[in-house]
Amino acid sequence: MSASLLPEDFAAADSCRELLADFPQFREVPGLPQARMLVEYIIGRRRGELDVSGRDAAGTFIDAAALAEVPHRIIVIDDARGIQTALLGRLAEVVVHHDRIDESRAAAHVADAGELSTLAELSTGDGATAGETWAIINAPKTTSALAETVAGLQPYVSAIIVIGRSAAMSRAVNKELARGFGRVDVSPGVGKHRMIIATRPLSAPSLSVFPKHGTIAHPGVGELEVRAYGACFSGVRSDEGSTLLLDAVIEASPAAESVFDLGCGNGWLLTAVTRVTGAPRAVGVDVSKAAVASARATVEANGIDADIVTGDAADPDDPGVAQLGSFDLIVLNPPFHQGTAIETDTASAMMTAAAGHLAPDGVVITVFNTHLRYRDRLEAIIGHSEQLARNKKFTVVASRGRSATSSPGPRRR
């Protein structure tokens, strides 16, 4: 694949090189290739050297005067490192939206831009700029996340560009964009990356509606109503690990006046554990805004009185999490992927957070992929740990703090 959208002899190529030269700090950063591709596309379009698909515009009628300042405004979605925001800020007014607050905080150190807390803020028109608005979506893991983002953006933009690794850009992306736009183009590949570009917004789009509604049935708790927004992990389904964790909680029957779910996702596990224990106090926290909105809708749908907090449980300095106090029962299903890479630092940080919020005689019940062998880590960070359940894929471990009494722990399977 080509190393650039722009041939060396294009005038736009010189302009791109000049812009990138002002950001030597990004030279070796992994997110630079995609950010550079976006810069090349916009400058190439403005100069009439690239067509809408990002290909050589030779032989194609291009109204260069109409495109000279396009776009006037760019909405960047989930720019985890802030590099796209910093570079594109040289070309247009840029506002950003992040689902994850940890990514929002990290990006803010790199680029200064206005932030949309939710895409619903676009409906107010506050701060809008005259002229065309484009949106850049960094390809999400799931089609449902893309569907909700497209639905939120479509009424307010003239183009949406989804950018990501070529291997992850399935036809589902094209189909989702076609729900709201009359034209969808696939760019040439540049390195390992590609763009899918939607233009000509439809006046009567067939956009997805969120939150999605579902039901999870479990023999120990009955039926639970579940609500999920697009970027929420597992949608309206129960994930296998959390189901095994719930089974272990039901069998162990720990006494609990308070329940805390670190990484509550769609809220079904917090709802189920609260129902099982009868705990009068229930709190869930998640780093994802979509997860928090989903969990709030789920607990409300089931008549559970719970506080759902937006916060980064892996960040010891997160003010929203630090002030929550202690809990008798903490449930934890930590992530172990950062993008496509396996990483366990986040899990360790969440274990540390659990230890900090554990009441003296409380218990942390953790589920994890068996191959990760977290039991020793839980023992080191929290305290005495014993296996409660295990199947072919997952293991559940109960950990008690070092100040806990010597009362019998939950039963082992």
Same domain? 330 vs 277: yes
Give the DSSP letter string of 108-154.
Answer: HTT---EE-SSGGGGGG-TT--SS-EEEEEEPPSSHHHHHHHHHHHG
Same domain? 123 vs 223: no
Q: What is the pLDDT of residues 146-186, one digit of tens each?
A: 999 999 999 999 999 999 999 989 999 999 999 999 999 99
**Residue 258 within a domain:** yes
Same domain? 54 vs 162: yes
87 φψ region: left (φ > 0), alpha (ψ -120 to 50), beta (else): alpha
Mark the ranges of the chain whose per-residue pLDDT is less than 50.
Answer: 127-128, 339-340, 405-413
Same domain? 149 vs 230: no
**Residue 306 within a domain:** yes
The pLDDT assigned to 407 comes to: 41
- Residue that is last in its domain, among 201, 231, 263: 201
Token reading at 163: 């950018």
Same domain? 272 vs 182: no
- Residue that is last in its domain, among 174, 201, 228: 201
- Residue that is last in its domain, among 167, 182, 201: 201
The pLDDT assigned to 168 comes to: 86
First to last CA, the chain: 53
Q: Which domain holds residue 65?
A: 11-201
How would you class 22 by CB atoms within 10 Å of its CB: exposed for 0-12, middle for 13-18, buried for 19 or more? exposed
Give the three-state DSSP class for 217: strand
The pLDDT assigned to 406 comes to: 40
**Residue 267 within a domain:** yes
**Residue 37 within a domain:** yes
Give the three-state DSSP class for 232: coil
Greatest Cα pair distance in the chain: 81
The pLDDT assigned to 67 comes to: 77
Contacts of residue 277, Cβ cutoff 8 Å, sequence gap at least 6: 249, 254, 255, 256, 259, 329
Tell me the pTM.
0.92
The pLDDT assigned to 129 comes to: 52
Same domain? 103 vs 226: no
Packing angle between helix 11-21 and helix 32-46, nearest 10 degrees?
140
What CATH number is given to the structural domain containing 38?
3.40.50.150
Same domain? 315 vs 384: yes
Q: How far is CA 152 from CA 78, 86, 199, in A?
A: 14, 23, 15
**How many structural domains compose the chain?**
2
The pLDDT assigned to 402 comes to: 73
d(CA 197, CA 154): 13
- Across 235-313, the runs of DSSP E, i.e. the strands, are 258-262, 281-286, 307-310
Q: What is the pLDDT of residues 294-348, one digit of tens each?
A: 999 999 999 999 999 999 999 999 998 999 999 999 999 998 655 445 567 899 9
Same domain? 223 vs 196: no
Same domain? 163 vs 274: no
The pLDDT assigned to 342 comes to: 57
The pLDDT assigned to 59 comes to: 79
